[in-house]
Amino acid sequence: MITIKEIAKQLNMSTTTVSNVIHDKEGEVSKEKRRIVQEFLDRVDYVPNINARNLAQNESKIIGVALKARADKYENLIMDPFVSELIGGIEETIRNAGYFMMLYISRDTEKIMRHVSTWNVDGLILFGMLDDDGIRVSTKYKKPIVCIDTYSIEGLKHFTNVGLDDEKGTYEMVKYIISCGHEKIAFMSDNTKGVDLARLTGYKRALKEAGIEFKEEDFLKIRPKSDEIDASLEEICRRALDYTAIMCVSDLYAVTLMSALQDRGIRVPEGISIAGFDDNMLGSLYRPALTTVHQDVKKKGVVAAQTLLKLIKGEKTDHQITLPTRLVVRDTVTKPRKSSFYGFR
């Protein structure tokens, strides 16, 4: 790899002159010399040594992206289109701004933060990392941080968050379900924290507004670990018969549930209506096509990246940036079955 020093030597001039041409400094180099140097640079295909440059300038032009790894059967599923799209949006945005992306997939916040400090990354995007532990670790970190889909009240004092109005999205969907005539509507998820809690809350609000009472048993908890998923689905399918519609916290769970119901001869939407949340290909390719709440995941990545770039430049941003959702009506929510008909076949 050719260095500035070597170039300067071959052209019989100083390194500063060469450096000035590289950095396009106006009025420091004569037209003639500028031309000579530029020609030489192009000819030898000069690329700067980034370590030297960063060392001299004390920056890295790297943005760290940390994703929480999951360890259940659905690891791949959860890493599903959501992560691909998100990363795609982030990568595109930061690359266009001259930054690069360092990807971490881990559950160890502390370790990641250590790496991030080591590499002197200019900023950080966190997805699914911020439990209370993560917050404690990352508040020590001095560079800008943008979180995605974080609901921690404590966290939001310290960080910028890019998220969704999950509550409203679910509220509108459940309202729509109710408008189709349903009264017995369950909610399915695997936890009651963060995003899932917000969506649950929206569901409850819609029920309340329609004068439908929520009972604890209306929350159908799926246990996605590989050794529990089957038993879990078995139980949910049995309990599903008490309802005419189920609001699922994600498209993945909606499709998983539909498959399980289908396997037991219960038809969607004839026997039971199902709604999802996310609007990814899982639901759009399934038949019946899933009625769901749309979110623009790629945009989430783009906005998170743009926000981080602003913070790096020293600009201020809102602490909370909320992207819109949209109802996508397809085929899995219709009017409720007559109580005697489950759609068995």
Partner DNA sequence: CAAAACAACTTATGCGCAAAAGTAAGGTGC
Partner DNA sequence: GCACCTTACTTTTGCGCATAAGTTGTTTTG
Question: Looking at this protein, which amino acid is placed at residue 236?
Answer: I
Q: What single-letter DSSP state applies at residue 210?
A: T
Distance CA 218, CA 184 (A): 9
Contact string 266-305 vs a copy of itself (x = CB under 8 A) = --------------xxx--xxx-x--------x-------
Min dist. Cβ of residue 74 to a copy of itself (A): 8
Element housing 123 (H / E): strand 123-127
Binding segment (CB under 7 A) for DNA, from list 47-55, 158-166, 266-274, 287-295: 47-55
Among 117, 192, 317, 334, binds a copy of itself (CB under 8 A): 117
Among 85, 165, 172, 235, binds a copy of itself (CB under 8 A): 85
Q: Which does 145 bind (CB under 5 to 8 A by kind): DNA, a copy of itself, none?
A: none
- Tokens 């295909």 sit at which residue? 45
Q: How far apart are CA 72 and CA 230, in angstroms?
A: 13
95 scored as a contact of a copy of itself (CB under 8 A):
yes
Q: How far apart are CA 267 and CA 259, in angstroms?
A: 10
Reading the block at residue 201, the tokens are: 């809350």
Return d(Cα 64, Cα 214) in angstroms, integer: 42
Q: Does 81 engage in binding with a copy of itself (CB under 8 A)?
A: yes
Nearest approach in angstroms of CB 96 to a copy of itself is 11
Q: Which H or E run includes 245? A: strand 245-248
Contact residue for a copy of itself among 8, 19, 38, 48 (CB under 8 A) = 48
Peptide bond into 324 cis (omega under 30): no
Question: Which of a copy of itself, DNA, none does residue 92 bind to, with CB < 5 to 8 Å depending on kind?
Answer: a copy of itself
Of the listed pieces 79-87, 123-131, 301-309, 319-327, which binds a copy of itself according to CB under 8 A? 79-87
User: Residue 294 and residue 78: Cα distance in Å, rounded?
Assistant: 17
Helix ranges restricted to H, the chain: 4-11, 15-22, 31-44, 50-57, 75-78, 81-96, 109-118, 132-139, 155-158, 166-179, 194-209, 229-240, 251-263, 281-285, 297-313
Residue 113 C-beta: closest distance to DNA, Å: 17
- Residues forming contacts to DNA in the complex (CB under 7 A) are 1, 3-5, 12-17, 19-20, 22-23, 27-30, 32-33, 48-49, 52-53, 55-58
Positions that interact with a copy of itself (CB under 8 A): 1, 47-52, 54-55, 60, 62, 69, 75-77, 79-81, 83-85, 87-88, 91-92, 95, 100-106, 114-115, 117-120, 255-256, 258-259, 262-263, 280-282, 285-287, 289, 298
